[in-house]
């Protein structure tokens, strides 16, 4: 059995372990976060899987910034996001969904745009005075694609490219995300602050208690009973850690049946990461279960062998967050593999619900003001990093505003 040796990488010296969270829950503070954090960060809004060919598109609503995006792939294979608003009277150009069409026509008065955002048609154009079509195209949002993920930045002049924003992770996942297909998607609109939501999914300290019914012994084992992370990496903006598998885990009857003909998936793990790109289990820990990757500010990814989960947290108010989880797994070849994947799906859904169960209870009690500070341990180093990055962006935004 592997005995865990904890490896910490990155700037540890400036982390704070006592966080004045109560002061961050007010509507006034959140309004500053909208502008200083979310409007200046690179935000993941989808995958190119939803843009399978020329003239395809999808709509992505961004409640945090009070807007909707129309994300398109044009005939030159360029992926671009636009504010989903007609320049005539402000109607939402495409209401929802995804698909393919040559142009986008507003259902209010028929103004029509192409996939490059150009205004093509003004209905009854000669009734207008002094309009210039070239000045009335859709408003673009800076867009970049990385490993099939579509990222946008709402800043008029982003201070960093996506490569700079992702840092060392940018070159470490070649091909990984293409090996899976989406198998489920869940969404919950929760009465809690976005910090509380992100925090619940970026540490393993809670797993012994919160998941004691659904996945009681899937991590740690006798050599690591408190499930300490074998590897923690703090990047400039983001965080990544590896979770330790319990090599003493005994398959339940359901798991034994489900994984007889298929790959081992959460909560029973294939620990062999030898064929994975360098960003997955970066230290090549032998008893590896999966990685937790916090992509600041909205995303937390669990990246495993043969599967992954992508969680996003979009605040809509100081005390409300839209939480989503997309589940991915390897493409099955037969009914036996499908059974194993279905067990993974059902177990993952229940684990997600258990994590969500803490959010509103935490929010409601923190709002009492009885506890104004939270105290973090080394097990919660991802939270300390999250709050350091939040403070850094808030301070930078204040300096720019002044």
The residue ranges of the chain whose pLDDT is under 50 are: 1-3
C-alpha angle 85/89/95, rounded to 5°?
40
Q: What is the pLDDT of residue 3?
A: 46
Q: What is the pLDDT of residue 214?
A: 87
pLDDT in tens, 180-203: 999 999 999 999 999 999 999 999
Q: What is the pLDDT of residue 262?
A: 86
- In whole angstroms, what is the distance from residue 75 CA to residue 367 CA? 51
Helix (H) or strand (E) holding 36: none
Q: Which CATH homologous superfamily contains domain 7-23+180-401?
A: Naphthalene 1,2-dioxygenase Alpha Subunit; Chain A, domain 1 (3.90.380.10)
Q: What is the pLDDT of residue 259?
A: 87
Tokens encoding 387? 């709050």
Q: What is the pLDDT of residue 223?
A: 87
DSSP letter string over 342-377?
HHHHHHHHHHHHHHHTTHHHHHHHHTTSS---EE--
Q: What is the pLDDT of residue 266?
A: 84
CATH code for the structural domain at 43-157 = 2.102.10.10
Contact 282, 227 (CB under 8 A): no
In the chain, CATH 3.90.380.10 covers 7-23+180-401
pLDDT in tens, 123-163: 999 999 989 999 999 999 999 999 999 999 999 999 999 99
In the chain, CATH 2.102.10.10 covers 43-157
- In whole angstroms, what is the distance from residue 109 CA to residue 136 CA? 15
Q: What is the pLDDT of residue 5?
A: 60
**b/e per residue, 135-173, with b = 16+ CB within 10 A?**
ebbbeebbbbebbebbbbbbeeebebebeebbeebeebb
Q: What is the pLDDT of residue 400?
A: 83
pLDDT in tens, 49-58: 999 999 999 9
| CB neighbours of residue 333 within 10 Å | 10
């Amino acid at each position: 059995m592997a005995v865990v040796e904890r490896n910490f990488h990155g700037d540890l010296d400036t982390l704070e372990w006592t966080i004045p969270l109560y002061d961050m829950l007010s509507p006034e503070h959140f309004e500053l976060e909208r502008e200083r954090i979310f409007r200046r960060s690179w935000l993941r809004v989808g995958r190119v899987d939803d843009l399978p060919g020329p003239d395809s598109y999808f709509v992505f609503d961004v409640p945090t910034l009070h807007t909707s995006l129309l994300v398109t792939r044009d005939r030159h294979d360029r992926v671009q996001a636009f504010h989903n608003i007609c320049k005539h009277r402000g109607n939402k150009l495409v209401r929802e969904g995804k698909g393919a069409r040559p142009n986008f026509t507003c259902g209010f008065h028929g103004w029509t745009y192409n996939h490059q955002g150009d205004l093509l048609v003004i209905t009854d154009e000669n009734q207008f005075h002094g309009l210039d079509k070239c000045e009335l195209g859709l408003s673009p949002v800076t867009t970049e694609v990385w490993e099939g993920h579509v990222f946008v930045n709402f800043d008029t002049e982003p201070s960093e490219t996506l490569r700079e924003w992702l840092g060392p992770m940018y070159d470490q996942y070649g091909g990984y995300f293409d090996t899976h297909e989406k198998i489920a998607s869940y969404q919950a609109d929760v009465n809690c602050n976005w910090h509380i939501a992100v925090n619940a999914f970026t540490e393993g300290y809670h797993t012994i208690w919160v998941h004691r019914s659904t996945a009681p012994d899937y991590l740690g084992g006798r050599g690591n009973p408190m499930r300490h992370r074998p590897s923690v990496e703090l990047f400039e903006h983001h965080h990544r850690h590896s979770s330790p598998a319990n090599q003493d885990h005994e398959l339940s009857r359901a798991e034994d049946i489900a994984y007889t003909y298929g790959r081992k998936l959460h909560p029973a793990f294939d620990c062999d990461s030898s064929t994975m790109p360098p960003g997955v289990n970066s230290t090549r820990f032998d008893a590896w279960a999966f990685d937790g990757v916090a992509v600041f500010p909205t995303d937390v990814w669990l990246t495993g062998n043969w599967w992954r989960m992508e969680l996003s947290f979009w605040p809509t108010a100081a005390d409300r967050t839209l939480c989503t989880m997309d589940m991915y797994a390897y493409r099955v070849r037969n009914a036996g593999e499908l059974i194993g994947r279905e067990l993974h799906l059902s177990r993952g859904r229940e684990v997600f619900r258990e994590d969500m169960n803490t959010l509103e209870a935490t929010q409601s009690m923190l709002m009492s003001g009885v506890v104004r500070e939270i105290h973090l341990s080394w097990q919660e180093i991802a939270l300390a990093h999250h709050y350091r990055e939040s403070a850094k962006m808030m301070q930078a935004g204040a300096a720019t505003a002044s």
